[in-house]
């Protein structure tokens, strides 16, 4: 279908963006990659009066190390992240997840900030950000602030973004030798939104997992950290017995939403399969490292 009428502008400063947002409120939408927004407009599911194109704000781009974090600007595209040597080195979880995002043409346009601001619980970036205990950087007329990823995603497509604010970037901790990360998702077709996906970020001491972050996509209303199961795993060796305890815990902890072709119990089952596989992989990789 053809999108409804709207107006368009491309500010060259953040101040202009905030001023326009204040002026138009809900009638304005931020446009970066537009891969979600444009599909919504083409289906006439939304009728904003104004699109504010922020891709002219160069300050919102870039991927760089800042202290002990890797900072990725909101306008970094999925392809930028996929191709980035810095990401490969410092945030390998993101490098693992990137090829799963849709397809190349979409990755060339879609952005880090756009995915985070939209907060789709089936998307890869919100999930990875939560797994890594990343931080979302926001800016508004009142100034800049940071929100931890796990406090940012509140409900289905609902984030901690206040009216008038935009996501300017997000950072993740730098990967260290003690870290193991793994990402896997089950999709009927490559590039589809996954039926279930899991990002694991673990910190080890030898073969002992000091902490294991488990964040699921496609399971809840938001990227879902399985806190109770994480607590059970903390300080343990991820041997077969521990993994089964984790799986049993997940079965109790996860309360998935069904989708068009999968019931809740199927999703729960698939989530546990992913958990078992990734935890086994984590354990195997650490066992291979000489003490």
Partner 1 sequence: MASFHTLHVEVNGQPQKRSVQPRQHLVDFIRNELGLKGSHLGCEHGVCGACTVEVDGRIVRGCLTLAVQTQGCKVRTIEGLSEDGDVRDLQEAFIRNNALQCGFCTPGMVMAAKELLEAKPDASREEVREWMSGNFCRCTGYHAIVDAICETLAERARKGQKVGA
Partner 2 sequence: MNTTTLHPTSTSMAANPTQAGPEVEERPKVHPADPGDKPLHPVTEDPRYIGKSVERPSARKLVQGQGTYIDDIELPRMAHVVYWRSPVAHCRIKRIDASAARGMPGVVLVADGHDIAKICKPWVAVLGHLAGMKSAPQYPLALERACWQGEPVVAIVAETREQAEDALQVLHVDIEELEPVVDMETALDAATPLIHPELGDNLCFARDLNVGEVDDAFARADAVVETTFEFGRHTGVTLEPRCQIAEWNSADQKLTVYHSFQAPHMMQDLYARQFDLPESQVRVVCKEVGGSFGIKVHAYPDDFATVALSMMCKRPVKFVADRIESFISDIHARHHRVKARIAASKSGEILAFEMDDLTGIGPYSMFPRTSAIEGNQVVNLVGGPYKHKNYRAQLKVVFQNKTPTCQYRGVGHPIACAVTEGLVDQAARAIGMDPLEFRRKNVIPDDAYPATGASGIKLEVLSHQACLRKIEQMMDYPKLKAEIEALREMGIYRGIGFAALIELTNPSAAFYGVGGARIASQDGCTMRLDPSGAISVSVSVGEQGQGNDGIYRQIAADAVGVDLEKVRLVLSDTDVTPYGGGTWASRGAGVGGEAVLLAGQALRANIVKVAAVILKRDAAELAIRRGQVVDAQTLAPVLDMAELGRVAYFRSDTLPKDFTPELMVTRHYAQRDFPFIFTNGVQASYVEVDPDTGFVKLLKHWAVEDCGRVINPKLVDEQIRGAIVQGIGGALLEECLYDERGLMINASMADYLVPMSGEMPDIDVAHVQTPTRSSQLGAKGAGEAGTAGAPAAVMNAINDALSPFQAQCWSQPLTPEKILRALGKV
Place of tokens 């279930």: 196
Place of tokens 């919102």: 60
* 175-180: long-range contacts, CB 8 A cutoff, minimum separation 24: 175/89, 175/90, 175/91, 175/92, 175/93, 176/203, 178/203, 178/204, 178/205, 178/210, 179/203, 179/204, 180/204, 180/282, 180/285, 180/286
Nearer to partner 1, 69 or 107 (CB): 107
User: Should residue 104 be labelled a site residue for partner 2 when binding is judged by CB under 8 A?
Assistant: no
Question: By the criterion CB under 8 A, which residues form the site for partner 1?
Answer: 1-8, 10, 31, 34-35, 38-39, 41-43, 49, 51, 53, 55, 79, 99, 102-106, 108-109, 189-191
Binds 48: which of partner 2, partner 1, none (CB < 5-8 Å by kind): none
CA distances 274 to 195, 199, 269, Å, are: 11, 9, 9
Binds 10: which of partner 1, partner 2, none (CB < 5-8 Å by kind): partner 1
User: Should residue 261 be labelled a site residue for partner 2 when binding is judged by CB under 8 A?
Assistant: yes
Nearer to partner 2, 186 or 234 (CB): 186
Nearer to partner 1, 10 or 145 (CB): 10
Cα separation, 96 vs 197, whole angstroms:
12
Cα separation, 288 vs 51, whole angstroms:
52
User: Should residue 265 be labelled a site residue for partner 2 when binding is judged by CB under 8 A?
Assistant: yes
User: Should residue 263 be labelled a site residue for partner 2 when binding is judged by CB under 8 A?
Assistant: yes
Contact assessment for residue 247 and residue 159, using Cβ atoms and an 8 Å cutoff: no
Q: Which string of x and - marks every residue 160-199 that binds partner 2 (by CB under 8 A)?
A: ------------------------xxxxxxxxxx-x----
CB-neighbour burial class of residue 259 (10 A; exposed 0-12, middle 13-18, buried 19+): middle
- Structure-token pair, residue 77: 């595209």
User: Should residue 266 be labelled a site residue for partner 2 when binding is judged by CB under 8 A?
Assistant: yes
Q: Which string of x and - marks every residue 74-103 that binds partner 2 (by CB under 8 A)?
A: -------------------------xx---
User: Should residue 107 be labelled a site residue for partner 2 when binding is judged by CB under 8 A?
Assistant: no
Contacts to partner 2 by CB under 8 A: 1-2, 4-5, 43-44, 99-100, 184-193, 195, 260-263, 265-266, 269-270, 273, 277
């Amino acid at each position: 279908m053809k999108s409804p009428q709207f107006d368009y502008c491309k500010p060259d400063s953040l101040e202009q963006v905030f001023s326009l947002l204040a002026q138009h409120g809900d009638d304005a939408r931020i446009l970066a990659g537009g891969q979600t927004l444009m599909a919504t407009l083409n289906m006439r599911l939304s009728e904003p009066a104004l699109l504010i194109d922020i891709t002219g704000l160069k300050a919102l781009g870039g991927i760089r190390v800042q202290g002990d974090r890797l900072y990725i600007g909101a306008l970094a595209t999925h392809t930028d992240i996929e191709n980035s040597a810095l990401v490969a080195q410092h945030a390998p979880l993101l490098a693992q997840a990137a090829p799963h995002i849709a397809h190349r043409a979409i990755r060339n346009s879609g952005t880090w900030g756009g995915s985070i601001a939209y907060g789709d619980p089936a998307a890869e970036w919100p999930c990875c950000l939560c797994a890594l205990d990343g931080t979302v950087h926001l800016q508004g007329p009142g100034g800049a602030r940071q929100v931890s990823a796990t406090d940012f995603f509140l409900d289905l497509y609902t984030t901690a973004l206040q009216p008038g604010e935009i996501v300017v970037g997000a950072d993740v901790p730098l990967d260290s030798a003690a870290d193991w990360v793994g990402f896997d998702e089950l999709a009927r077709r490559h590039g589809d939104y996954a039926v279930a996906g899991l990002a694991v970020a673990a910190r080890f001491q030898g073969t002992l997992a000091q902490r294991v972050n488990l964040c699921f996509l496609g399971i809840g209303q938001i990227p879902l950290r399985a806190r109770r199961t994480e607590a059970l795993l903390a300080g343990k060796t991820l041997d077969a017995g521990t993994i089964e305890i984790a799986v049993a815990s997940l079965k109790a902890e996860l309360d998935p939403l069904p989708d068009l072709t999968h019931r809740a119990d199927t999703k729960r089952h698939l989530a546990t399969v992913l958990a078992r596989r990734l935890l086994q992989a984590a354990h195997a990789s650490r066992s291979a490292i000489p003490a």
